[in-house]
Amino acid sequence: MIFKARVWKVGENINTDLILPNRAFYLPPEEQVSYVFSANRPGWAEEVQLGDILIGGKNFGMGSSRPAARSLKNLGLSCLVAPYINGLFFRNAVNFAFPVVECEGVDEAFEEGDIAEVDVIGAKVRNLTQSRELSAKPLPAPLLAIIQAGGIYPLLEKEGLIKPKAIANPKR
């Protein structure tokens, strides 16, 4: 699980309501994506290209249990890297199979537009534009396994414990 792409940067304490605002709460997931950061960065969601990497600041994802991580994934982002991540956002990311990496100093090691290489399993984050490498916190093996399985729902579907449901996805 190695991603190499252009990075976007956001600041500290990015909350779930900025990622998935109330106005979009009950829309189908594929429509929720166009509201990501509409309050703090209007128009941004349209600029994201499939595979782009998001670099967040400290305490990324504070706030509610809403499926904000699913919106970032559905937007086409390949992963999120932040110094440290709110525990509830982190759970949602793992369970929706959106790779997240906690890496101290990452917010200072990148300018927006730099090219990053993120090795999720090897826990390394490289800034290819500025030739820098940072060590990240390794993802615990059981959580990596959930991400590799495509999240929690496919696991439950396979055992027949929940009914399958196709989720439309415009960008991937």
> If binding is defined by CB under 8 A, does position 143 make contact with other proteins?
yes
What are phi and psi for residue 123, nearest 5 degrees? Answer: 55, 50
> If binding is defined by CB under 8 A, does position 67 make contact with other proteins?
yes
d(CA 1, CA 156) in angstroms, rounded, equals 23
Using DSSP's 3-state secondary structure scheme, residue 73 falls into helix
Identify the residue among 6, 57, 84, 115 touching other proteins (CB under 8 A).
Answer: 84
CA-angle at 20, arms to 39 and 38, nearest 5°? 20
> If binding is defined by CB under 8 A, does position 165 make contact with other proteins?
yes
Identify the residue among 91, 100, 106, 125 touching other proteins (CB under 8 A).
Answer: 91
**Total of chain residues touching other proteins, rule CB under 8 A:** 48
Identify the residue among 46, 47, 131, 160 touching other proteins (CB under 8 A).
Answer: 160
Instruction: With CA atoms as reference, report the closest residue to 66 among 93, 39, 41.
Output: 93
For residue 6, the minimal CB distance to other proteins (Å) is: 26
Name the helix (H) or strand (E) containing 70. helix 68-74
By CB under 8 A, what part of segment 106-135 binds other proteins? Answer: none
> If binding is defined by CB under 8 A, does position 88 make contact with other proteins?
yes
Identify the residue among 81, 92, 109, 118 touching other proteins (CB under 8 A).
Answer: 92
The answer to whether the CB of 97 falls within 8 A of the CB of 72 is no
Q: Which is nearer to other proteins, 26 or 46 (CB)?
A: 26
> If binding is defined by CB under 8 A, does position 63 make contact with other proteins?
yes
Instruction: Give me the DSSP letters along 94-159.
Output: HHTT--EEE-TTHHHH--TT-EEEEETTTTEEEETTTTEEEE-PPPPHHHHHHHHTTSHHHHHHHT
> If binding is defined by CB under 8 A, does position 142 make contact with other proteins?
yes
> If binding is defined by CB under 8 A, does position 5 make contact with other proteins?
no
